[in-house]
Amino acid sequence: MKTHHDLRELLNRIDHRGYPAYKDTRGSYQFDKYVLSIDHVQGDPFAAPSKVSVHVPGKTAGFPADLFEVSHKRIALQDYLIRKFSKEVESCTFKAKGSGKSGLMSVSRCGQEILERTACEIQTDGKVVVRMEIGFPANGRTINSRELIKILFEFLPGCVKKSLLYASLDSKSVQKNAELAEDQYFIRQELPKLGLAAFVANGSILPRESGVSDRPMRQAVAFQSPKSMEVTLQLPNHGPITGMGVKQGITLVVGGGYHGKSTLLKALELGVYNHISGDGREYVITDDTAMKIRAEDGRSIKQVDISMFINNLPNKKDTRKFCTEDASGSTSQAANVVEAMEAGTKTMLIDEDTSATNFMIRDELMQRVVNRDSEPITPFIDRVQELFAQYGISTILVAGSSGSYFHKADCIIQMDHYLPKDITEFAKKEADAFPIPNEPAPKSHAPSLDRIVKADQGFRKNDRIKMKTQGKDSVLINRDTIDLRYVEQLADTEQLVSLGHLVKYAQLRVFDGKRTLSEAVEELCRVLGKDGLAGVCEGSYVPGGLAMVRKQEIYACLNRYRALRL
């Protein structure tokens, strides 16, 4: 292998030459404590920065195997290392100077959630790989390799030494990080055994600082479970922890406006992920198949059987294979429910703030005036019990303005000044005094979703496939924009990058005109399970900047992909 001496010599040689001469630096170089790999060199100083990876052998990195042997601890350690490394890198970025992106040094920026990312990978032998971007410096378009030498021979080695070697980290804090991961994993495993859909520990801080900051709100009212719902778990490290256990079944959250209903639901939505220490939601853990269900006007729907909810449309459209390029509130929410069933969710999370009213309820007066035969919609309220009884799917529903669900709910929580009260008994008594005419809902059959997906001939292995993401809003693939704004459980922009790669991979290798959509998603999940995100990246190197997604979000993405050929 070439060494850092070779790299330095090469860099000295190409100084002052035209920018393309940087291309010669591609390759791997042995440094003192690691191998530096220059994976991709940018075409000019204004283009996307160059991709570089650092490979620290297990022996040098020195992490005890106990910290990365099981995957939940490994992911937590990777996350810890990226955060440390990122801090070091931030203090060096643009310290080397030049035109365009010259001197930039960057690695993934992590939010409050702990996600597996390509930015850092700990292999089975303890080897640590970090993937980052560096803007190779130039003056105008002329190479300034003295500045790159500063980055690669001074800044980067400093960052690696300070943040990727066990010996230079605070071992107590590393240990605490692993213990939290273990405890979170434990709660997640316990939920189904205890018949719970979610757990919210007493003392949790649910609200966030602001609409643009995910950090915990200061001086928030700490969460405190109603006595009747309290569950105590014996965590392996933390010891006993008490909080609210949300039982499987139908849970209704009511309460006056501004009393914290949506805040609780939002915390449950993101409880499918683990949160970092200090977040306030460390011990808010939701069934990790949970899906937020909402209305989403304007989305496309492709051959989805929404006949459970919608039938006899005036335009005679077939609702067993419903298609539209511009869904209404109710049809979009119906499709979201059915697609969630296909994605294997066991818990649906619904907020009336983001629901189509006519999908959720039909009040008595309306039932009298407009009889069932002229109403294509069987509202969710008429199916919510069936979903649990027949499919084992729980619902946690925020409904502050309609009492109709009192009749259906197993558990009713009132949010009162940000604190939950168990009002099941009282509300049930009141509801009994207010019977609603109980017309039986029309019979339904299990939605059939055996949609075969074909490959788009526009995708070929050696073609350049254009891919671009816009924050958490959308992924563009070739000419098609996949709108993901309303897929609220996407927590990080890097997850959208992964979805882009997954769609590309699926088009090239998975969609074959034989597999159904769900078989295709299973195949994608199999590859992710076996090789991680690296498995779905085409090309000769694994890029940083991807974060793991759940099966549920892969479904959500493909279901919103207008170019999907069925």
List of residues contacting ligand ADP (CB under 6 A): 206-207, 217, 220-221, 255, 257-263, 415, 418
* Cα separation, 215 vs 237, whole angstroms: 25
Residue 273 vs 418, nearer CB to ligand ADP:
418
* Cα separation, 91 vs 82, whole angstroms: 14
In the complex, minimum distance from the CB of residue 336 to ligand ADP, in angstroms, rounded to a whole number: 20
Partner whose footprint covers residue 452, from Mg ion, ligand ADP, none (CB < 5 to 8 Å by kind): none
Name beta bridge partners: 27.
38
User: 187-199 burial, b for 16+ CB within 10 Å, e for fewer?
Assistant: bbebbeeeebbbb
Q: Which residue from 23, 5, 11, 4 is spatially nearest to 144, judged by alpha carbons? A: 11
Q: Are 178 and 274 in contact (CB under 8 A)?
A: no
Reduced to 3 DSSP states, what percent helix, strand and coil does the chain have, rounded to the nearest 5?
A: 35, 20, 40
Binding string, residues 225-264; x marks residues near Mg ion by CB under 5 A: -------------------------------------x--
Partner whose footprint covers residue 244, from ligand ADP, Mg ion, none (CB < 5 to 8 Å by kind): none
* Cα separation, 345 vs 24, whole angstroms: 50
Residue 415 vs 517, nearer CB to ligand ADP:
415
Tokens representing 361 are: 């309820």
Please state, in angstroms and as integers, the Cα–Cα distance from residue 448 to each residue in 11, 239, 324, 405, 562, following that order. 61, 45, 18, 27, 20
> Is 90 an interacting residue with respect to Mg ion (CB under 5 A)?
no
> Is 182 an interacting residue with respect to Mg ion (CB under 5 A)?
no
Tell which phi-psi region holds residue 101, choosing left (phi > 0), alpha (psi between -120 and 50) or beta. Answer: alpha
In the complex, minimum distance from the CB of residue 44 to ligand ADP, in angstroms, rounded to a whole number: 46
In the complex, minimum distance from the CB of residue 354 to ligand ADP, in angstroms, rounded to a whole number: 11
Residue 258 vs 426, nearer CB to ligand ADP:
258
What lies within 8 Å, CB to CB, of 9 at 6+ separation is none
> Is 523 an interacting residue with respect to Mg ion (CB under 5 A)?
no
Q: Which residue from 426, 444, 435, 417 is spatially nearest to 252, judged by alpha carbons? A: 426
CA 401 distance to own-chain centroid: 30
Residue 220 vs 476, nearer CB to ligand ADP:
220
Residue 305 vs 352, nearer CB to ligand ADP:
352
Tally of residues, the chain: 566
Interacting residues with Mg ion between 15 and 74 (CB under 5 A): none
In the complex, minimum distance from the CB of residue 266 to ligand ADP, in angstroms, rounded to a whole number: 7
Partner whose footprint covers residue 206, from Mg ion, ligand ADP, none (CB < 5 to 8 Å by kind): ligand ADP
In the complex, minimum distance from the CB of residue 196 to ligand ADP, in angstroms, rounded to a whole number: 21
Residue 353 vs 480, nearer CB to Mg ion:
353
Residue 41 vs 284, nearer CB to ligand ADP:
284
> Is 512 an interacting residue with respect to Mg ion (CB under 5 A)?
no
In the complex, minimum distance from the CB of residue 211 to ligand ADP, in angstroms, rounded to a whole number: 9
Tally of CA atoms within 13 A in the half-sphere of 434 that contains its CB = 14
Residue 394's SS3 state is strand
Q: Are 374 and 311 in contact (CB under 8 A)?
A: no
Residue 15 vs 353, nearer CB to Mg ion:
353
In the complex, minimum distance from the CB of residue 262 to Mg ion, in angstroms, rounded to a whole number: 3
> Is 414 an interacting residue with respect to Mg ion (CB under 5 A)?
no
Residue 368's H or E segment, with its range, is helix 364-369
Partner whose footprint covers residue 258, from Mg ion, ligand ADP, none (CB < 5 to 8 Å by kind): ligand ADP
Q: Are 133 and 107 in contact (CB under 8 A)?
A: yes
State phi, psi for 317 to the nearest 5 degrees.
Answer: -65, 140
Looking only at the bridges linking them, the beta strands covering 274-275 and 284-286 are: unpaired
Residue 415 vs 477, nearer CB to Mg ion:
415
Q: Which residue from 363, 374, 354 is spatially nearest to 488, judged by alpha carbons? A: 354
Residue 241 vs 268, nearer CB to ligand ADP:
268
> Is 353 an interacting residue with respect to Mg ion (CB under 5 A)?
yes
Tally of CA atoms within 13 A in the half-sphere of 342 that contains its CB = 28
Partner whose footprint covers residue 220, from Mg ion, ligand ADP, none (CB < 5 to 8 Å by kind): ligand ADP
Residue 84 vs 281, nearer CB to ligand ADP:
281
Partner whose footprint covers residue 106, from ligand ADP, Mg ion, none (CB < 5 to 8 Å by kind): none
> Is 355 an interacting residue with respect to Mg ion (CB under 5 A)?
no
In the complex, minimum distance from the CB of residue 351 to Mg ion, in angstroms, rounded to a whole number: 6
In the complex, minimum distance from the CB of residue 244 to ligand ADP, in angstroms, rounded to a whole number: 13
In the complex, minimum distance from the CB of residue 368 to ligand ADP, in angstroms, rounded to a whole number: 31
In the complex, minimum distance from the CB of residue 259 to Mg ion, in angstroms, rounded to a whole number: 9
The contact set with Mg ion (CB under 5 A) reads 262, 353
